[in-house]
Structure 1
Amino acid sequence: MRNILIVGAGQAGLQLALSLRAEGYDVTLMSARTPDEIRTGWPTSTQAMFDLALSSERAYQLDGWQSQTPQIQGLHVVLSAPPGEMAFGAPCPLDAPAQSVDQRVKMAQWLLDAEDRGVEVIYNSVTTQDLDALTQLGRYDLTIVAAGKGELVAMFDRDDNRSVFTSPQRGLAVSYVHGLAPDPRWPVPHVGFHAIPGLGELFVIPGLTNSGPCDILFWEAVPGGPLDRYADAVGRMAPQLHLQITLELIQEYLPWVHERAGAVELTDAKATLHGRYTPTIRRPVAHLPGGGRVLGLADVVIANDPITGQGSNTAAKAADYYLKSILARGGHPFDETWMNATFEGFWTAHGAAVTGWTNAMLQPLPPHVQQLLGAAAGNQDVARRFANGFSDPNDFGNWLMDPDKATAYLAEVCAA
């Protein structure tokens, strides 16, 4: 059986390793951290995974948290205009629940599962020089890089034609918390999407962490604006100060959320994350000094801003797409032509739609999108379609992303 090397133990790398192993492949996975180091470390992400992405986990019995994780029933889109005053709120129900499992929980367990299921797991950081040496061993039929941070990412050239931005578009600040009261306006578990035009957004995501069910308070701040209060921190900000700033901003700009936050506390001593990065699309194949070729996966090659909550979803879909492409390849070589074709196939199937939609959401919302969101507040068909687009963003191209299609859709809905 063919032997695959995967470098990186996040959503995409671990999901691909486990699913390939289930299909009988020999898989070696390299992780920079052990399960204990991940479980007791700092969070690396937020995540709200929707049904289409979750189905790729369920297919290989990788969804071990169903009974413990809050079942997210939809999104509540709230517009604050002017800041501090609610203009409208639109509950947008999902057809199938979403869920959010802290990657400290999920990746630690998946690493243990990988070892139990016969994946050769090597705990070691990997440099470009290491990877060059590994590809020259002749042991691996295919090497995939799924480590979205660190020096390995720099091996993959920026795709200027598909990369719109040259600087970060948001400052990101995350707090995992216990004690947030349910939203009285829509008490079921849901993702709260609170937009403050020109300043940024707050997302409130029900999730599961090491200490049980929780909520994630996630600020996306326009750089240099009044919400961007984490930017001057040198290194990692003290978690309690981080939470204090988060709650102060909520009190000032979203008082209806602050009403629910009287008993909020951090879930653990390492429950915060802040930073920023430039959304970038990279070319899928990296050329190593010794002549080797490696294929990039997920946020190595498609790193979008998290404003649309698509990072883990895109990673899961990419792992599933690459899996199917590897299986279909049979005994043929995984050459550079195949690598490029695999990525381009994924880009056409998923990557282009989510990137275009995410980039659009980073800009001031055009009038037709504001009109659609306003319509969602009073029309369940519009609200439901908007929510389910988070599961498959391809649908947004049929109505949300195009002013003429949006106008036609609203006319059709109103006439029904």
Structure 2
Amino acid sequence: MRNILIVGAGQAGLQLALSLTAEGHRVTLMSARTPGEIRDGAPTSTQAMFDPALETERAYRLNHWDRLAPPIHGLHVQLAAPPGTLALQFTAPLDRPAYSTDQRIKMARWLTDAEQAGVEVVYQPVSPGYLDALAPRYDLTIVAAGRGELIQLFERDPARSPYEAPQRALAVAYVHGLAPDPAWPEPHVEFHAIPGLGELFVIPSLTRTGPCDILFWEAIPGGPLDVFAAKTGEEHLGLTLSLIQENLPWFAERCAGVRLTDDRATIEGRFTPAVRKPVAHLPSGGLALGIGDVVVANDPITGQGANTAAKAAHHYLQAILRRGDEAFDEQWMTATFESFWAAHAQAVTVWTNGMLQPLPPHAQRILGAASAIPAVARRFAHGFADPNDLLTWFADPHAADRYLQSVR
């Protein structure tokens, strides 16, 4: 039995704590907030988790919401060019449904599960100095707190981090009352792209007041959609709907009955996408291993944040189990992250960074083909479940053209 400290109670930290405990390890989890504070607070994210990531939760019976959250059957991609004019659209069905659960109810439940499972849960913020004092007590220290000052302990990796400023301003509203899409009434993610301005995502989800939808604007900073700073919830929703009316009038028709799910149902902000080196060197000589957004923080434009965190928790779990009684030294920490990077995170990062730029001609040809060829649309949807597949055709112009020739 190893003695492991995990700091941070999000997707990666809690999933890893629960699965390690189920495998017989002694785990201490540090959380800055209690379950009640999480449940009653503002949302922290959007999320749409695809089947491979969900399977990592199901392996340890953490999937409490599969029968409660609306099953997401695919993606509906729509391109507005110019704004207000629908230029292209296609539906991209998934082979197996995805699900979205508001992390306010998910993490609150998992924290309660952790306490009941025997995890030593300590509700206290952790500063760098406190982490330095804690680390010598444990065989392994893992930092899963993707926000706050601990992230500064992990050095940015410039070779894997092309951006030095936020690429999108993010504005999220959880809502009830959105009318179903008459062309595809089953729940699905909608992706409305407005070239040069940004994107609107519509995600069926489950929140603390029941099934809902997430309206999520990604605005190019400084552009006409970047208008959400420091607004009240109702002002935020009003801006969301006015931008929809102006830029996506065909979608605005379905928003007549939209209202916020609760009095803390909106968030806005921006961050710079970055990959960081996985090992933090603490002042006293100790080491900490980063996981989740601590080391791979991509823009949410491809919906991969929670998926990547879940896969990281599973990957790190398997590496810890294989380690047996050997020391968790820096070489092992680095190798653990690098193998995760090669298996999962690299594809997500390359794809996401590419989607933040104007689409190159070969990607435009793919989307055009998807509107006419169901096989292309289905493979595009599959890429959200397995981003590694996208590297074999979507990310490379020559491979894309070869693939399109084969399906034609």
Is the pair's TM-score, using the shorter chain for normalization, greater than 0.5? yes
- The answer to whether the aligner puts 1:313 opposite 2:311 as a matched pair is no
Tell me what 2:91 maps to. Answer: 91
Tell me what 1:76 maps to. Answer: 76
**Amino acid in structure 1 at the alignment position of 2:76:** H
Which of 378, 383, 408 aligns to 2:402? It is 408
**Amino acid in structure 2 at the alignment position of 1:70:** P
Q: 1:44-193 alignment to 2 at 5 Å?
A: 44-136=44-136, 139-193=137-191
**Amino acid in structure 2 at the alignment position of 1:142:** L
| Number of aligned residue pairs | 408
Deviation at 1:230, TM superposition (A): 1.4
Deviation at 1:150, TM superposition (A): 0.3
> SS where residue 255 of structure 2 aligns?
coil
Question: 2:161 & 2:179 partners in 1: Cα distance?
Answer: 40
> What 5-or-longer segments of structure 2 have no aligned partner?
none
- The answer to whether the aligner puts 1:290 opposite 2:288 as a matched pair is no
Deviation at 1:42, TM superposition (A): 0.4
**Amino acid in structure 2 at the alignment position of 1:388:** H
**Amino acid in structure 1 at the alignment position of 2:193:** A
Which of 246, 249, 253 aligns to 2:243? It is 249
Deviation at 1:275, TM superposition (A): 0.2
Question: 2:266 & 2:18 partners in 1: Cα distance?
Answer: 29
Question: 1:135 & 1:358 partners in 2: Cα distance?
Answer: 34
> SS where residue 378 of structure 2 aligns?
helix
> SS where residue 215 of structure 1 aligns?
strand
Deviation at 1:88, TM superposition (A): 1.5
**Amino acid in structure 1 at the alignment position of 2:96:** A
Question: 2:66 & 2:131 partners in 1: Cα distance?
Answer: 37
Tell me what 1:229 maps to. Answer: 227
- The answer to whether the aligner puts 1:322 opposite 2:316 as a matched pair is yes
Deviation at 1:98, TM superposition (A): 0.3
Question: 1:371 & 1:88 partners in 2: Cα distance?
Answer: 12
Question: 2:103 & 2:329 partners in 1: Cα distance?
Answer: 32
**Amino acid in structure 2 at the alignment position of 1:41:** G
Q: 1:388-403 alignment to 2 at 5 Å?
A: 388-403=382-397
Comparing 106-115 with 81-90, greater Cα deviation is found at 81-90
**Amino acid in structure 1 at the alignment position of 2:163:** F
Deviation at 1:293, TM superposition (A): 0.2
Deviation at 1:363, TM superposition (A): 0.2
Which of 198, 208, 232 aligns to 1:238? It is 232
> SS where residue 259 of structure 1 aligns?
helix
Question: 1:55 & 1:332 partners in 2: Cα distance?
Answer: 29
Question: 2:127 & 2:253 partners in 1: Cα distance?
Answer: 48
Question: 2:135 & 2:115 partners in 1: Cα distance?
Answer: 22
TM, length-normalised to structure 2: 0.99
Which of 268, 293, 313 aligns to 1:274? It is 268
Deviation at 1:407, TM superposition (A): 0.6
- The answer to whether the aligner puts 1:259 opposite 2:253 as a matched pair is yes
Deviation at 1:187, TM superposition (A): 1.3
TM, length-normalised to structure 1: 0.97
**Amino acid in structure 2 at the alignment position of 1:14:** L
Question: 2:391 & 2:317 partners in 1: Cα distance?
Answer: 26
**Amino acid in structure 1 at the alignment position of 2:352:** T
1:292-331 deviation per Cα after TM superposition (whole angstroms, max 9, x unaligned): 1000001000000000000000000000000000000011
- The answer to whether the aligner puts 1:366 opposite 2:360 as a matched pair is yes
**Amino acid in structure 2 at the alignment position of 1:249:** L
Tell me what 1:213 maps to. Answer: 211
> What 5-or-longer segments of structure 1 have no aligned partner?
none
Tell me what 1:195 maps to. Answer: 193
Question: 1:174 & 1:118 partners in 2: Cα distance?
Answer: 35
